[in-house]
């Protein structure tokens, strides 16, 4: 009885320790945000009111005007602020990345915008993966047991084709991206196919958002970025991502 009580206390202590470290890392990131804000080019009062994380399309429009205004003279400052913000949201599974993807299409040429979004998505997701691996395993098992079990079953099924499966998951909405990031190390998805699969897999849906950013000021909501043609296009991309798995199994069947 005493040993069971001791184990429970040790487990609770480890959970509190992990949670405290995560909070500390989050606070450190927020302090970096504050440093970036303080050292950003001098904003007037109206600009300062709109210099914030966008939560809707109007916020994105206002922020886009500010960043576009300062981008010419302070290119590095604007780009580094954008990169850090995107990676921060992905790292701590905070909603809002879709608006930044749209904003990237407004601020930068398409090839650069797509590279930025894919890099930030893969890097931020990988940092989330590492945090989960180091500090979040117990919490994830505790709060998402059913989803973890389903995810683990799918991963085992595609153990030999994890790169293609990760690409498929990023294109399709079957698992939320935040859950994929948190659960991947728990169900033993290796780091390399996770990063590369994320980098490639986010490209098709990001294509939609970036294209929408070219007409940012005509948008009234995030929903305006979607159409049936684009949904069909994403469906084609998702099916295409699974073709290597299909042909690999077909080839194996013929050899047998």
Arithmetic mean of pLDDT, 181-196: 89
What is the pLDDT confidence band of residue 136, given thresholds at 50, 70 and 90? Answer: confident
Q: Is the pLDDT of residue 7 over 50?
A: no
- How many residues comprise the chain? 256
What is the pLDDT confidence band of residue 198, given thresholds at 50, 70 and 90? Answer: very high
Q: Cα separations (Å) of 139 from 12, 131, 148, 234? A: 11, 12, 11, 33
Instruction: Give pLDDT, residue 253.
Output: 64
Q: Is the pLDDT of residue 10 over 70?
A: no
CB count, 10 Å around CB of 151? 22
Instruction: Give pLDDT, residue 256.
Output: 57
Tell me whether residue 11 is in a domain: no
pLDDT digits (tens, 9 = 90+) for 101-133: 999 999 999 999 999 999 999 999 999 998 888
Q: What is the mean pLDDT of the chain?
A: 82
The two three-digit tokens of residue 26, written as one number: 């989050």
Poorest-pLDDT segment among 55-69, 74-88, 171-185? 171-185
Tell me whether residue 201 is in a domain: yes
Burial 202-219 (b: 16+ CB within 10 A, else e): bbbbbbbbbbbbeebeeb
The two three-digit tokens of residue 104, written as one number: 């990237």
The two three-digit tokens of residue 255, written as one number: 């050899």
* DSSP states of 138-153: HHHHHH-HHHHHHHHH
Q: Cα separations (Å) of 226 from 99, 163, 234? A: 13, 27, 11
CA distance 205 to 230: 9
Host domain of residue 151: 43-255
Tell me whether residue 19 is in a domain: no
Tell me whether residue 37 is in a domain: no
Look at the chain and report how many structural domains it folds into: 1
Instruction: Give pLDDT, residue 22.
Output: 76
Q: Is the pLDDT of residue 8 over 70?
A: no
- Pick 248 or 112 by higher pLDDT: 112
CA distance 198 to 123: 9
- Pick 75 or 10 by higher pLDDT: 75
Distance, C-alpha 134 to centroid of its chain: 18
- Pick 180 or 240 by higher pLDDT: 180
Tell me whether residue 72 is in a domain: yes
């Amino acid at each position: 009885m005493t040993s069971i009580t001791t184990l429970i206390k040790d487990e609770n202590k480890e959970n509190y320790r992990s949670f405290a470290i995560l909070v500390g890392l989050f606070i450190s990131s927020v302090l970096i945000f504050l440093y970036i804000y303080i050292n950003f080019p001098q904003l007037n009062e109206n600009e300062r009111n709109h210099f914030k994380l966008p939560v809707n399309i109007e916020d994105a429009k206002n922020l886009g005007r500010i960043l576009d205004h300062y981008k010419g003279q302070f290119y590095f400052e604007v780009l580094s602020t954008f990169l850090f913000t995107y990676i921060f949201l992905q790292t701590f599974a905070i909603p809002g990345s879709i608006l930044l993807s749209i904003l990237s299409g407004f601020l930068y040429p398409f090839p650069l915008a797509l590279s930025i979004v894919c890099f930030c998505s893969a890097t931020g997701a990988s940092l989330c993966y590492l945090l989960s691996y180091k500090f979040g395993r117990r919490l994830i098992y505790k709060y998402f047991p059913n989803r973890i079990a389903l995810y683990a079953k799918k991963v085992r099924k595609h153990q030999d084709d994890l790169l293609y499966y990760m690409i498929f998951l990023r294109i399709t909405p079957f698992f939320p991206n935040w859950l994929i990031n948190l659960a991947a190390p728990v169900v033993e998805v290796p780091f390399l196919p996770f990063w590369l699969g994320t980098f490639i897999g986010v490209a098709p849906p990001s294509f939609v958002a970036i294209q929408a950013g070219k007409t940012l000021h005509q948008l009234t909501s995030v929903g305006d970025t979607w159409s049936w043609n684009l949904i069909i296009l994403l469906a084609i991309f998702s099916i295409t991502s699974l073709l290597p798995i299909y042909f690999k199994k077909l080839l194996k069947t013929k050899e047998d």
